[in-house]
A and B are shown apart, each in its own frame.
Chain A
Amino acid sequence: AAGVIQSPRHLIKEKRETATLKCYPIPRHDTVYWYQQGPGQDPQFLISFYEKMQSDKGSIPDRFSAQQFSDYHSELNMSSLELGDSALYFCASSLGTGGATNEKLFFGSGTQLSVL
């Protein structure tokens, strides 16, 4: 079965550079979530989208922005990168229409961002 696809798998950037992370949800999933996981930390919610509209915002810095496109894929844009942005960034998708089976959150393999 198709899973959530994230690219790139690894990314190395320098301070003050920009980065773009991409996420392709499971086909027919209309909801995308972005999480940031620092070393040894639990995943922290950044932002979510439902039907191409921003739905909820968590601890996402102003330097970051994200959007969901017409094909439901999503991109997380990160500017003026800082050392503290080094983390594993997960994208997750679900069917946003509710119901016990639809609310399961499926994760991609993550993008490991290293800021030097």
Chain B
Amino acid sequence: AQKITQTQPGMFVQEKEAVTLDCTYDTSDPSYGLFWYKQPSSGEMIFLIYQGSYDQQNATEGRYSLNFQKARKSANLVISASQLGDSAMYFCAMREGRVSGTYKYIFGTGTRLKVLA
């Protein structure tokens, strides 16, 4: 079963508008972490934002915020005031429990965002 689901393969947003990228997850581990990464066309994977399963407040990092709804198992990324440079692939990822010292990180299939001028 898919552990991280990103249902939007592609999205468009007008410059300066806000956009929400969806992510749902599935885990039985009570302790987990949720991440969003941005991958521009150049290929590098850029860390955007992190939410821990025990965090009471939604994470925010500048124009990025994570809408964490634990009961629904969703961790949507909200980008406010979109910029042309936000055009990229966005991956949602989950950190599960530790295996012999390292965590297990699982990625969704990604959402390609295109910001329109």
Contacts and interface: CB of A to CB of B under 8 A. Distances in A.
A105 B47 CA distance: 8
B102 A100 contact: no
Given A88-B43, A112-B43, A107 B52 contact: no
**DSSP majority for the B interface?**
strand
Contacts of A17: none
Interface residues of B, number: 28
Contact of B101 (A31, A88, A92, A105): A31
Nearest to B9: A40
**DSSP majority for the A interface?**
strand
Interface stretch (A51-59, A69-77, A78-86): A51-59
Give the contact-size bracket for chain A.
Answer: 20 to 34
A39 to B, nearest CB: 11
Interface of B: 33, 35, 37, 42-47, 50, 52, 55, 91, 93, 95, 98-110
